[in-house]
Amino acid sequence: MRMKKITASLLSLLLAVTLLAPTTFATSKPVLLQVDGEPALFNGHAPVIDHGTTLVPAEDLFEALDFKFEQDAKSKQVKGTKEGLTIELQNGQKTAVVNGQSVQLVIAPKVIEGITYLPVRSIGEATGYEIYWDEASRTVILKSKVVAASGRGFLWEVQNGGNKVYLLGSMHLADSSFYPLHPSMENAFAEADYLGVEVDIAKAADPETQELVLKLGSYQDGTTLKDHISETTYAKLGNILAENGLDKNALDAFKPWVVETTLSALQAAKTGYEGQTGIDLYFLTKAMERKLPIIELESYESQLGMFNDFSPKLQEDNLLAVLNNFDQVDDSVAAMADMWKTGNDAALLELVQEMGKNEEYNKAMLVDRNIAMADKIEGYLKGQDSSVYLIVVGAAHMPGDIGIVNLLEDKGFTVTRK
pLDDT tier for residue 122 given thresholds of 50, 70 and 90: confident
Q: Using the 3D structure, point to which of 71, 106, 137 is the last residue of a domain.
A: 137
Q: Is residue 398 part of a domain?
A: yes
Residue 141 near residue 176 (C-beta atoms within 8 A): yes
Q: Taking the CB of residue 72, how many other CB atoms lie within 10 A of it? A: 10
Q: Which residues of 156-173 are buried (b: 16+ CB within 10 A; e: fewer)?
A: bebebeebbbbbbbbbbb
The mean pLDDT of the chain is 86
Q: Is residue 144 part of a domain?
A: no
Domain co-membership, 126 together with 185: no
The enclosing H or E element of 226 equals none
Q: Give the chain's domain count.
A: 2
Question: What is the pTM for the complete model shown?
Answer: 0.72
The enclosing H or E element of 8 equals helix 8-15
Q: For residue 86, which phi and psi values (nearest 5 degrees)? A: -125, 130
Q: Is residue 146 part of a domain?
A: no
Domain co-membership, 343 together with 271: yes
Which of 103-112, 139-148, 357-366 shows the lowest per-residue confidence on average (mean pLDDT)?
A: 139-148
Q: Is residue 87 part of a domain?
A: yes
For β-strands 85-90 and 77-82, DSSP reports them as: antiparallel
Residue 392 near residue 189 (C-beta atoms within 8 A): no
Q: Is residue 143 part of a domain?
A: no
Domain co-membership, 113 together with 189: no
Q: For residue 396, which phi and psi values (nearest 5 degrees)? A: -65, -15
CATH number (domain holding residue 116) = 3.30.457.10
- Give 183-202 pLDDT, tens digit per residue: 899 999 999 999 999 998 77
Domain co-membership, 191 together with 278: yes
- Give 348-363 pLDDT, tens digit per residue: 999 898 888 899 999 9
Domain co-membership, 107 together with 189: no
| pLDDT of res. 209 | 83
Q: Which residues of 232-269 are buried (b: 16+ CB within 10 A; e: fewer)?
A: ebbebbbebbeeeeeeeebbbebbbbbbbbbbbbbbbe
| pLDDT of res. 225 | 96
Domain co-membership, 51 together with 92: yes
Domain co-membership, 287 together with 367: yes
Q: What is the DSSP letter of 254?
A: B
Q: Is the pLDDT of residue 22 over 50?
A: no
| pLDDT of res. 356 | 84
Domain that holds residue 185: 8-21+151-417
Which of the two residues, 409 and 103, has the higher pLDDT score?
Answer: 409
Which of 112-121, 223-232, 267-276, 320-329 shows the lowest per-residue confidence on average (mean pLDDT)?
A: 267-276
Share of the chain above pLDDT 70, in %: 91
Quote the CA–CA distance of 166 and 336 in Å, as a whole number: 22
Q: Using the 3D structure, point to which of 137, 161, 188 is the last residue of a domain.
A: 137
Q: Using the 3D structure, point to which of 114, 137, 160 is the last residue of a domain.
A: 137
Domain co-membership, 111 together with 224: no
Adjacency order of strands within the sheet including 38-39: 38-39, 32-35, 139-144, 129-134
Q: Is the pLDDT of residue 218 over 70?
A: yes
| pLDDT of res. 67 | 92
Domain co-membership, 190 together with 292: yes
For β-strands 38-39 and 48-50, DSSP reports them as: unpaired
Domain co-membership, 287 together with 236: yes
Which of the two residues, 142 and 312, has the higher pLDDT score?
Answer: 312
